[in-house]
Chains A and B, each alone.
Chain A
Amino acid sequence: MTLQNADARALAGRTVQMAISAGASEAETLVMSSSSALTRFANNRIHQNVASEDSGVSVRAVIGKRVGVASTNREDDASLFACCEAAVEAARLAPEDAAFPGLPQPRPLSLEDRACATTRTFGAGERAAAVGTIVEHCASRGLTAAGQVSVSDTVIAVANSLGVDAGMPGTTCRATVLAMGPDEGSGWASFAGRDTSLLDAGSLGEQASSLALRSASPRDLDPGEYTVVLAPDAVAELVQFLGWYGGSAKAVAEGRSFMTGHLGERMMSQSVSIVDDALAPHALGLTFDFEGMPKSRVALVEGGVVGEPVTDSYWAARTGRRDTGHALPAPNSFGPIPLDLEMAPGDATPASLIASVERGVYVTRFHYVNIEDPVTATLTGMTRDGSFMIEDGRLTHPLRNLRFTQSAVAALASVGGLSSERRMVGEEGGALAPYALLERFAFTGRTR
């Protein structure tokens, strides 16, 4: 059974005391309790339909400058104490880390309830009904639908022996729709939010199926550098790669970030601002990090100028920066990470962006993007689910999928316009992204 917020916070606090009893000089516990369900569909039927619930406790034990971590999903006292002992034992054997600043002191938090009752009661029947609506939209047009409708109900609580006591419930709802037709046509639509009452399955089915019909019978395009108009899913991919791999103080300090050596410099177009803001009303994630520190709004890029990276308590101390509250669960070898990214809007419409392009490519989304060079944020990946030729300001014909190999930093230095409309898309906490016109974007190959 999953835990309520108060129970999770109580469990976190109780386990901290156990860890101290087990020999830790300082201790931190993280409790995560979640109920989730996901209905997957393909070939116009539901082919996987799953639900699970789990609660886990993770203990970070500190002895001086030594740190050990252990976790368990067994909640009885004997198992919890054994977990605490394992963390303490690991800390005893670990070499000292002279740079370890100790666990963070408590700071004022803005604890919100980001859970929606409608999402909590959105069961298998409701998910199937949403899928049925999507499938009906697609099948009635001779298309095949695939995708998923999912919900989660999660409580996360953090406590430490210095007085940190944070807990927060949250729900999420996500849906994706891929419509596929004959003659290689495919279209995409997605939804990410907290509240299932905002999920409009019919609209998603309509968007994806219209795009699939329009993208049938694609033509080849020679690789080369083109002006592109990217839809929000594609823009979010660039923003998330920049943020996740380049936006942390650890990556900056180690010379692995596009920010390294360029703080305060203009690297992108003036219209580009990328911020991480978990406190924004549309944000899906926690308002505190996995150390129980308040998340701050951080401008990674402001007006094209490189701003500041995100930190956690360790990397704030190591680099002499403020703790922005972006810790992952301990032990965290990845470093701090921005999970609530958004790109500032412009004043254009998607139609006006397309209308301003003499010859270019419209991209609905990317597929299987990976990073070739973290410093330049050079990415490679494919287009999919609706790419079109733009000629004289109009979408003229669909294009077969293309491979790109392109620095995200350089691409965002050639922004020719951003839409005022933004959409919440992408993985993890999601990213809020506009449509973007990029003057120069390198397509390096094409598929069959």
Chain B
Amino acid sequence: MRGFSASCLDAASSAGADYADVRVTDTRTQDISVRNGIVEGVESSTSFGFGVRVLADGAWGFAAASDVTPDAAARVARQAVAIAKASATVGSHRVELADVAPFDDTWSGTCAIDPFQVGLDDKLAVLLAADAAMRAVSGVALTQSEMGFVTVFKVFASTVGSYIEQRWSESSAGITAMAVDGGEVLPRSYPNSHGGGCFQGGFETILALDLPGHATRVATEAAALVSAIECPSKQTTLIIDGSQVALQVHESVGHPTELDRVLGDEAAFAGTSFLGLDDIGSLRYGSDIVSVTADATIPGSLGSFGYDDEGVPATRDHLVRDGILAGFLGSRESAPAISRVSNGCMRADGWNRTPLIRMTTVSLEPGDAGSLADLIADTDDGLYIETNNSWSIDDKRLNFQFGCEIGWEIKDGQLARMVKRPNYTGITPAFWGSCDAICSREAWQVWGLDNCGKGEPMQVAHVAHGAAPARFRDVTVGVGR
């Protein structure tokens, strides 16, 4: 691919590009789904193509095509330059990029068992066993089991002088049992909702989940939700499980700290941010125990890579330190706005998309509250909730509302009655300011999330969040109940 990428860069430079990069991406996927004992889908796909991004006359242009040929290299590169020159006709702003060193390197993600070397029958056996175990539980109306696998080979080259090859695999799987009763659908999922657990790695990550081993519990809880009480409408102490804390971090820390949102680039679609450039070092984001990091170097995390799609090496950076805003997720274009170099957060959803600022592994750092059982024991009265069911947040990432699958009242340090469809709402800094306990590292894990939508045309990023169960005071729950 060195020759092909060089021809793209040469053609772009000859056409007038001041900067150019090219990504060639070869992606292979497999998705399997089982519903109510029936195999609903077995699908494999391949996608191969390249995209050229250029700066010309101080503005961006990007063009992509699926025919990876010398003729297409020249044609697409010239098209990208023509688009950039059209961009430059509106406004007088000229893009300036933060420096990055040239790298000639390769990187591979962790993978013990290549998921594409595992037979379909072995994968189906896991899903069908879990599905059968869920359906064996009385009161369960619907069951869903799914697996997905991705292998990516990506080449990046730029006029800075970089040439980088990266390879990785991703695996995901999950099960859901649903009780349907009296006009309500009551799902229960493992290890997470919305596709399950997502990992950078191979089939070993799926085997470690032991889906069949959790199927009966999941189904039993779904069936029990039918007779659970409604979530009371009140202000209370709320303990949130790690998976929901991960999504809370995603929506109310990850997205608002994306520098392109702060700068207004996403205003018309996903929105902006309540944060300003001058808030670094002064804005109180949460209580003193709240620290959030962005780390693209965690092995096995969906948010890890060797280099981002601008050729910037993976880094670990603080977004919130001891409750105070400490940084943003950035790019080579946006970093100069805060007088920093890029911390490497630019990624594209495939060869035909231009990179955007995306989360890496954005994590709430662990606290010292021990295990989940310790945290519940330390709580006199409140509500404990697990597993996301719905999410919504305003265009500045302030007012949010989340629904979860299941909850339990907490009375005198113990779980009491089960609660169906709990939800809660809040305002971002006030909510994080009410965090008074975070479980310790033993309860902390990385949660992959493979459905983060952003940008136009829509791009779906695979990101991750480290999180442990955490406690929040005076939270409004039971909205609309």
- Among B107-115, B157-165, B391-399, B434-442, which stretch is in contact with chain A? B391-399
B6 sits at the interface (CB 8 A):
no
- Among B179-187, B309-317, B319-327, which stretch is in contact with chain A? B179-187
A172 sits at the interface (CB 8 A):
no
Q: A45–B93 contact, CB under 8 A?
A: yes
Q: B425–A445 contact, CB under 8 A?
A: yes
Q: How far is the CA of A83 from the CA of B87 in the complex (A)?
A: 39
Q: How far is the CA of A68 from the CA of B45 in the complex (A)?
A: 12
Q: A146–B267 contact, CB under 8 A?
A: yes
Task: Choose among A146, A256, A381, A406 the residue that contacts B264 (Cβ–Cβ < 8 A).
Answer: A146
Task: Choose among B119, B392, B399 the residue that contacts A401 (Cβ–Cβ < 8 A).
Answer: B399
Task: Choose among A73, A331, A374, A447 the residue that contacts B41 (Cβ–Cβ < 8 A).
Answer: A331
Q: B120–A52 contact, CB under 8 A?
A: no
Residues in B neighbouring A124, C-beta threshold 8 A: 61, 82-83, 86-87
B427 sits at the interface (CB 8 A):
yes
Q: How far is the CA of A95 from the CA of B456 in the complex (A)?
A: 39
Task: Choose among A93, A331, A369 the residue that contacts B121 (Cβ–Cβ < 8 A).
Answer: A93
Q: A69–B353 contact, CB under 8 A?
A: no
Task: Choose among A40, A54, A405, A444 the residue that contacts B49 (Cβ–Cβ < 8 A).
Answer: A54
Q: B83–A49 contact, CB under 8 A?
A: yes
Q: With contacts A38-B457, A73-B48, A146-B264 known, is A331 near B40, CB below 8 A?
A: yes
Task: Choose among A68, A95, A369, A448 the residue that contacts B399 (Cβ–Cβ < 8 A).
Answer: A448
Q: How far is the CA of A332 from the CA of B38 in the complex (A)?
A: 13
Q: How far is the CA of A129 from the CA of B86 in the complex (A)?
A: 9
A17 sits at the interface (CB 8 A):
no
B278 sits at the interface (CB 8 A):
no
A378 sits at the interface (CB 8 A):
yes
B128 sits at the interface (CB 8 A):
yes
Residues in B neighbouring A254, C-beta threshold 8 A: 141-142, 180
Q: B479–A45 contact, CB under 8 A?
A: no
Q: A448–B67 contact, CB under 8 A?
A: no
Main secondary structure of the interface of A (DSSP, over half): strand
Residues in B neighbouring A403, C-beta threshold 8 A: 392, 394, 399, 401, 425
Q: A445–B399 contact, CB under 8 A?
A: yes
Min CB distance, B125 to chain A, in Å? 11
Task: Choose among A97, A256, A369 the residue that contacts B185 (Cβ–Cβ < 8 A).
Answer: A256
Residues in A neighbouring B141, C-beta threshold 8 A: 254-255
- Among A175-183, A302-310, A336-344, which stretch is in contact with chain B? A175-183
Chain B residues touching A, range: 35 or more
The proximity string for A residues 110-130 relative to B, scoring 1 for CB distances below 8 Å and 0 otherwise, is 000000000000011101110
A36 sits at the interface (CB 8 A):
yes
Task: Choose among B51, B265, B353 the residue that contacts A47 (Cβ–Cβ < 8 A).
Answer: B265
Q: A448–B401 contact, CB under 8 A?
A: no
B277 sits at the interface (CB 8 A):
no
A373 sits at the interface (CB 8 A):
yes
Q: A71: nearest residue on chain B (CB-CB)?
A: B45
Q: B395–A86 contact, CB under 8 A?
A: no
The proximity string for A residues 30-55 relative to B, scoring 1 for CB distances below 8 Å and 0 otherwise, is 00000011111111111111111111
The proximity string for B residues 46-76 relative to A, scoring 1 for CB distances below 8 Å and 0 otherwise, is 1111010000000111111111000000000
Task: Choose among A46, A47, A50, A87 the residue that contacts B63 (Cβ–Cβ < 8 A).
Answer: A50
Q: B390–A46 contact, CB under 8 A?
A: no
B342 sits at the interface (CB 8 A):
no
Residue picked from B39, B51, B425, B427, most chain A C-beta under 10 Å: B39
A72 sits at the interface (CB 8 A):
yes
Q: B267–A178 contact, CB under 8 A?
A: yes
Q: With contacts A36-B457, A44-B91, A447-B427 known, is A373 near B66, CB below 8 A?
A: no
Q: With contacts A367-B394, A447-B396 known, is A42 near B45, CB below 8 A?
A: no
Residues in B neighbouring A55, C-beta threshold 8 A: 66
B263 sits at the interface (CB 8 A):
yes
Task: Choose among B40, B48, B264, B480 the residue that contacts A42 (Cβ–Cβ < 8 A).
Answer: B264
Residues in A neighbouring B421, C-beta threshold 8 A: 372-373
Q: B79–A144 contact, CB under 8 A?
A: no
Q: How far is the CA of A409 from the CA of B59 in the complex (A)?
A: 47
Q: A42–B120 contact, CB under 8 A?
A: no
Task: Choose among A49, A382, A384 the residue that contacts B61 (Cβ–Cβ < 8 A).
Answer: A49
Residues in B neighbouring A285, C-beta threshold 8 A: none
Q: A176: nearest residue on chain B (CB-CB)?
A: B268
Residues in B neighbouring A360, C-beta threshold 8 A: none
Residues in B neighbouring A176, C-beta threshold 8 A: 268-269
A150 sits at the interface (CB 8 A):
yes
Task: Choose among B39, B89, B90, B274 the residue that contacts A94 (Cβ–Cβ < 8 A).
Answer: B39
B42 sits at the interface (CB 8 A):
yes
Q: How far is the CA of A406 from the CA of B121 in the complex (A)?
A: 45
Residues in B neighbouring A374, C-beta threshold 8 A: 185
Q: How far is the CA of A36 from the CA of B51 in the complex (A)?
A: 14
Q: B180–A38 contact, CB under 8 A?
A: no
B280 sits at the interface (CB 8 A):
no
Q: B180–A333 contact, CB under 8 A?
A: no
Q: B185–A368 contact, CB under 8 A?
A: no
Min CB distance, A388 to chain B, in Å? 17
A78 sits at the interface (CB 8 A):
no
Residues in A neighbouring B399, C-beta threshold 8 A: 382, 401, 403, 445-448
B352 sits at the interface (CB 8 A):
yes
B477 sits at the interface (CB 8 A):
no
Q: A97–B427 contact, CB under 8 A?
A: no
Q: B390–A376 contact, CB under 8 A?
A: no
Q: With contacts A43-B263, A50-B63, A71-B45 known, is A375 near B456, CB below 8 A?
A: no
Min CB distance, A187 to chain B, in Å? 11
A131 sits at the interface (CB 8 A):
yes
Q: A47: nearest residue on chain B (CB-CB)?
A: B265
Min CB distance, B18 to chain A, in Å? 15
Q: B395–A48 contact, CB under 8 A?
A: no
For this complex, 14 residue pairs linking A to B, each with C-beta atoms less than 8 Å apart, are A37-B83, A45-B59, A45-B90, A48-B60, A49-B83, A54-B49, A54-B352, A67-B42, A72-B45, A90-B42, A148-B269, A333-B33, A370-B390, A375-B185
- Besides the contacts A148-B456, A445-B476, what 7 more A-B pairs have beta carbons closer than 8 Å? A39-B87, A49-B59, A67-B42, A69-B44, A370-B391, A401-B394, A448-B399
Sort A-B residue pairs by CB-CB distance and give the 9 closest, nearest first: A331-B41, A45-B91, A405-B480, A124-B86, A447-B399, A52-B64, A178-B268, A146-B268, A52-B352
